[in-house]
Structure 1
Amino acid sequence: MDRPTPEMLALFDTPEWLRVVGVFDLETTGVDVAADRIVTAHVGVLDASGAVISARDWLADPGVDIPDGATAVHGITTAHARAHGRPAPEVVAEVVGSLRGLLDAGIPIVAYNAPYDFSLLKNEAVRHGIDPIVDPAPVIDPLVVDKAYDRWRRGKRTLSVVAAHYAIRLDGAHEASADAVAAGRVAQALAERFAPWLPATAHELHTRQIAWARAQAAGLTDYFIQIGRLDPDDRLDGSWPIR
């Protein structure tokens, strides 16, 4: 995709629906959305400048041991979670409630690699007898949007790398609040850079991301098969924003 010139960008404002965004991130016991548990969570709201206008953080006792590998990522040990974390059912219920409040208000929720966080939260809700969020909308996933609008850029697409690419500061990577806020600001940077091509509404962008994510998973599947990382009969799940 050709980059818009500064003159072109001057003709386009940031979409109205991106001037207030929710942000959401989890840190967990692992990467299995069906089996792993929430350790920390963040739900917040950013204004048009990327400033935090509301925020809430949670520390849960997940009810299981936190593997050393997970602790190495987010810094929370089993002992710390047990001593200072709240019961997982309470945390899950409050996170679900906070996200529902944003969605009911029509505020888009930014989540980087959204299927991971929303799927794990859904499974945690089911585990604890809480009515799950099964079809969150509108969601903005900067990972999917960045791949769609800048498909051929080389390099990794981790949050830290993509944040650096868009000149977004990320202090404390893999801490739920830092990651959530950085993802929200990346979404706003994407909106500024690619304003001429953005859809008119957050719901239209949500719909486009469903197709983009499916296509991206198919392309990655083909690549992994070519390099021998996947068997020819295996396919990556391209469901979005929840699996």
Structure 2
Amino acid sequence: MSWYLGRLAGFDTESTGVDVENDRIVTACVVQCGGGHPTRSATWMADPGIEIPEDAAKIHGITTERARAEGQPAGQVVEQVIAALSQVVLAGIPLVAMNASFDLTMLDREARRHGVCPLSELVGDQLRVIDPQVLDKKIDRFRRGGRKLEDLCRTYDVRLDGAHTADADAIAACRVAWRIAQKEPTIGSASLAFLHEEQIGWATEQADSLAAYFARTPGREHLADGVRPEWPLIPFEVVPGA
């Protein structure tokens, strides 16, 4: 059976910002859907331990005050999210994450920050990720317009209820992945192991292309050095003296 006809596990986070090394998770969702079984969703809100910038709060709706009042300690949230993800990964369920290297790297750094065993160390080489952003750029490289989740939902006729909430984004990513796999037989019929490895190469090519675009665009040259090609996780680097 094609992978997209079975169970899928969507994963998404909302955070204090976009710096995976220093920003923190505010909300997270792991949703299981498809495969002829009811949808199951688990969501978490964390007290990130730092101020949530106003710009970030405007996007996901969680203020510092609300996170402190309603959120669990960040370390507990990270531990529970990793436990939920490791369960689905070890069960052979593909992990669907839009722009996976952001969410998985953010989760990895939070785990190390709070003394929790990172997901990569728990599941090893059994991790199989489906990234709708990487797939979309591969199959429709020259399409004009944005490539954010809202854009892909419009492109692939997917409903998105409550954009920029972790639960809505997680299930929408699964729906987009399903549409892409249905549309493109070479993707839908590929084995998960093969598709995971292919996406590593595709993501590198896409990052190189983006960096080259920034480098030749006046006023944006400085952005080229910040483009990271690693997928689905930016490796952790120990900083000497830290």
Normalising by structure 2, we get a TM-score of 0.90
Q: Deviation string for 1:41-100 (max 9, x for gaps)?
A: 000111147x85211000111111111010010000111010011111100000011000
Q: How far is 1:230 from its partner?
A: 2.0
> Partners of 2:115 and 2:138 in 1: how far apart?
37
Query: Number of aligned pairs?
Result: 229
> Do the aligned partners of residues 223 and 66 (structure 1) sit closer, same or farther apart at CA in structure 2, a change above 3 Å counting?
same
> Partners of 1:137 and 1:149 in 2: how far apart?
23
Task: Tell me which residue corresponds to 1:238.
Answer: 229
Please tell me whether the aligned partners of residues 98 and 133 of structure 2 are also in contact (alpha carbons under 8 angstroms). Answer: yes
Residue 129 of structure 1 aligns to a residue whose secondary structure is coil
Task: Tell me which residue corresponds to 1:34.
Answer: 21
- Structure 1: which amino acid aligns with 2:107? L
Task: Tell me which residue corresponds to 2:102.
Answer: 116
Please tell me whether the aligned partners of residues 112 and 142 of structure 1 are also in contact (alpha carbons under 8 angstroms). Answer: yes
- Structure 2: which amino acid aligns with 1:105? A
Residue 18 of structure 2 aligns to a residue whose secondary structure is coil
Please tell me whether the aligned partners of residues 213 and 240 of structure 1 are also in contact (alpha carbons under 8 angstroms). Answer: yes
CA RMSD across the alignment: 1.8
> Do the aligned partners of residues 62 and 207 (structure 1) sit closer, same or farther apart at CA in structure 2, a change above 3 Å counting?
same
Q: How far is 1:236 from its partner?
A: 2.0
Task: Tell me which residue corresponds to 1:7.
Answer: none
Residue 93 of structure 2 aligns to a residue whose secondary structure is coil
> Partners of 1:29 and 1:52 in 2: how far apart?
32
Please tell me whether the aligned partners of residues 11 and 29 of structure 2 are also in contact (alpha carbons under 8 angstroms). Answer: yes
For structure 2, list consecutive stretches of 5 or more residues without a partner in the other structure.
235-242
Normalising by structure 1, we get a TM-score of 0.89
For structure 1, list consecutive stretches of 5 or more residues without a partner in the other structure.
1-13
Identity value in percent? 45
> Which of 11, 31, 43 pairs up with 1:57?
43
Q: How far is 1:200 from its partner?
A: 2.6
Answering whether residue 163 of structure 2 is matched by residue 173 of structure 1, we say yes
Task: Tell me which residue corresponds to 1:145.
Answer: 135
Please tell me whether the aligned partners of residues 95 and 129 of structure 2 are also in contact (alpha carbons under 8 angstroms). Answer: yes
